[in-house]
Amino acid sequence: MSKELAKTYDPKGLEDRIYQKWLDNKYFHAEVNREKKPFTIVMPPPNVTGQLHMGHALDNTMQDILIRFKRMQGYEALWQPGTDHAAIATEVKVIEKLREEGIDKDDIGRDAFLKHAWAWKDEYGGRIINQLKKLGASADWDRERFTMDEGCSKAVEEVFVKLYNKGYIYKGSRIINWCPVCQTSISDAEVEHSEQAGHFWHIRYPIAGSSEFVEIATTRPETMLGDTAVAVNPEDERYTDLIGKTLKLPLTDREIPVIGDPYVDKEFGTGCVKITPAHDPNDFEVGKRHNLEEINILNDDATMNGRCGKYAGMDRYEARKAIVADLEEQGLLVKVEEHVHNVGTHDRCKTTIEPMIKPQWFVRMKEMAKPAVDAVKKKELKLVPERMEKSYMNWMDNIRDWCISRQLWWGHRIPAYYCDSCGEVTVAKEKPENCPKCGCAHLTQDEDTLDTWFSSALWPFSTLGWPEKTEDLEYFYPTNVLVTGYDIIFFWVIRMVFSGIEQTGQLPFDTVIFHGLVRDPAGRKMSKSLGNGIDPLEVIDKYGADALRLTLITGNAPGNDMRFYWERVEASRNFANKVWNASRFIMMNLEKAEAAEEPDPAALTDADKWILSKVNTLAKDVTENMDKYEMGIAVQKVYDFIWEEFCDWFIEMVKPRLYSDADETKGAALWTLRTVLTNALKLLHPFMPFVTEEIYCTLWPEEESIMISSWPAFREDWSFSEEEKKVELIKVAVREIRNVRTQMNVPISKKTKVFVVSEKEEVLDTFEKGRVFFATLAHASDVLVQKDKTGIGEDAVSAVIPDAVIYLPLAELVDIEKEIERLKKEQERLTKELARVNGMLKNEKFMSKAPQQKVEEERAKLEKYTQMMEQVTLQLRQMEK
């Protein structure tokens, strides 16, 4: 073994080097291989504007763990990477850059703007990919795709035209989310809802032909100018006589009807609800049911339009103040209440969005959603954790037509062409030469682009060559697992499901694993506004990618949020150090005496068989956990095995054999150490790829990489249940001896005789065979295994274990006279402490004036000192005997 591990583990020195080696050797690359079973994961494409955050780090760590696991299991494992064009985010970035250069987007026009956008993408678009590489992501970068590359764009056009011809895509006027600053419709995914302090304005609407009023309450008085009805619940006895009558709409010359609709909650507010179909999605649906007029009162920049009389041209909030003042002046304002309500803002510019009726392109969802519902009901699509099915079904039950057009230049332009002469609309992949209706040669393409989610909904199959019938598509599709955050189940996951079924006739994947959010130590969501975000690259720079990965996956259960603590990253780094140092120790001993080939089972000691059996069971358990996507449970088992069983127990057990050239089992010990370390490294590799690669290739210099080594499989011939029981019994004895020594403050350096007394031959045989390592672990000067208490003094301290009793001569543990003296001094100290604490707790002045926290501290001290006094008194009594 010519290569040596460095004295200390330094991730900075090895991670970049190892990653480059993997790239150079194309270990991440997957090809169609009919001799292997495929396993495919598509990477949720990060935005080209994006920078790696903790959510990305968790999401991609989970995918990398799965793909590395499957690759080692012998699958042709493809992790398909790529980035999303992120329409609004990118357009905003490019506009900002142009503004800094003194250029206005509208002055240069669409084509010039798009040249700038592509240049920006080429310069900055690969940043997040390079950051994912720092994390150790083993995606097939040779296959990297972009949602606006030629192939993906072709797929988008194919789907749009196909759905339009099928009647699933249409252009119409419906309520959409409108951003007055970005001047575009935005998706639900881009609307952030937050609770904000506002008001409820109670307003009187006069009943026509009467001196009476109805009272409505609204959080947005300015929208009353667009009211076309007031609704009441038809079962609300207070208002049944009003249904069918008309009301005078305040501040206008219009009259509006009172309608009955079960949408109204009788218990909420006044029970009367103003209906503004053009500015509220629920009112829009009510308006459709009652054939109400839809009156838009806002311009695109959220100023009041020409239908608003004296308020025209005012900003929406300026108009609100003026309207409230006029209502008050006319005696129509009843009262104003404080009210906290959910307000939707655009996640990019933080502007409050306006629900508005706009002519847009939509996808009909009811029909397309049905197969996606059936897939979950029939368990053809598995959601992990299962509770996500409820959210999935809830969204499907309340599905609305999907607004897919955006008033942006960056994105897939809608393939719809308008005849300049007769207005005929033609939807086609290529621009028609002539209008099919009137023959005119002048056609203009729709100015709008498609919602980013439209192209990412096709991601699992468009990246593999669809709509062409490629070999990749046939082999790698449907994919196997999708890993994503639970916060985008509706916007992306469901759209991929129904798009996959509709376009390919197959589900795009059979399992979706939802992970939670990574929160700060206080449990808050990480955000720029709070300034509590933690940069994964900073963590990697300080502790290494392996430490970050282990931290993110340890204790992680699907669907649950987790908190990030720096202390946990430090603990993960310490674990890497532990593995490193243990490996160095093993290799140093292998250098001195090369391990033999696999020995005959008869040459293995009970300790060897115990650790082989343990690592064998571990391989089986971890594989089962990984197959169930229980990555957090799997890594905890590997961690516990390496740290406790292997390092803290087995390595200590074998040291006497390694240090004795006369020991005939030394070769077996070395073989076992190397074999168990090799298997443990393989099981750890998906979670901590860098440190395991460096150790493995140093341990086995003839091997290329741990990445392409085989995953440990369960072996029947390594199942040693009897030997496991024997060694576990010795471990129990060692723990008991250590407890006794701790309680009696016996230093580690002090060795004592240990008597093992049992009437059972098999127990005596176990300790006889394990005598050498038992003596080392128990810090014994000698181990005496016997059937009775012969030769054991009355003063011996005992510890009971299953089927045996362990005795330690008291005189050998401590200097009895000195120990009695020490215990008496401790007794005196505790007597004083107890007197002081009791005095304080019985002092009425202290109890009435001291802060509650101080009182609780003193009570805790009383409990602690009382327990200590009981222990000291008991030990003293034993000593004085």
Annotated binding residues = 528
Residue pair 861/833 in contact (Cβ under 8 Å)? The answer is: yes
Tokens of 496: 């991929």
Integer Cα distance of 591 and 2 in angstroms = 9
Q: What is the DSSP letter of 338?
A: E
> Cα–Cα–Cα angle for 601, 607, 608, nearest 5°?
40
- C-alpha distance from residue 72 to each of 18, 274, 311 (Å): 18, 63, 69
Residue pair 776/656 in contact (Cβ under 8 Å)? The answer is: yes
Integer Cα distance of 810 and 877 in angstroms = 13
Bridge-based pairing of strands 169-179 and 255-260 is unpaired
C-alpha closest to that of 519 among 490, 489, 546, 487? 487
Enumerate the H helices of 293-363 as residue ranges: 316-329
C-alpha closest to that of 841 among 820, 862, 868, 872? 862
C-alpha closest to that of 586 among 677, 688, 700, 666? 677
Integer Cα distance of 297 and 319 in angstroms = 11
- What is the radius of gyration, based on Cα positions, of the chain? 37
Tokens of 777: 């672990």
C-alpha closest to that of 722 among 596, 599, 604? 604
Integer Cα distance of 832 and 427 in angstroms = 92
Integer Cα distance of 379 and 363 in angstroms = 26
SS3 237: coil
Bridge-based pairing of strands 229-232 and 272-275 is antiparallel
* Helix/strand/coil percent split, the chain, to 5: 50, 20, 35
Residue pair 796/814 in contact (Cβ under 8 Å)? The answer is: no
Integer Cα distance of 789 and 786 in angstroms = 8
Integer Cα distance of 545 and 135 in angstroms = 5
Integer Cα distance of 542 and 549 in angstroms = 13
Residue pair 208/255 in contact (Cβ under 8 Å)? The answer is: yes
Residue pair 357/163 in contact (Cβ under 8 Å)? The answer is: no
Q: Helices 127-135 and 545-553, interaxial angle, to 10°?
A: 80
Residue pair 781/808 in contact (Cβ under 8 Å)? The answer is: no
Integer Cα distance of 599 and 725 in angstroms = 22
Residue 274 dihedral angles phi and psi, to the nearest 5°: -70, 140
Residue 799 dihedral angles phi and psi, to the nearest 5°: -140, 125
SS3 206: strand
The amino acid present at 447, given as its one-letter code, is E
Helices first, then strands: H and E counts in the chain: 29, 29
Enumerate the H helices of 291-361 as residue ranges: 316-329
CA dihedral 707, 708, 714, 716 (to 10 degrees): -140
C-alpha distance across the termini of the chain, in Å: 59
Integer Cα distance of 95 and 110 in angstroms = 12
Residue pair 156/458 in contact (Cβ under 8 Å)? The answer is: yes
Binding residues for ATP are: 528
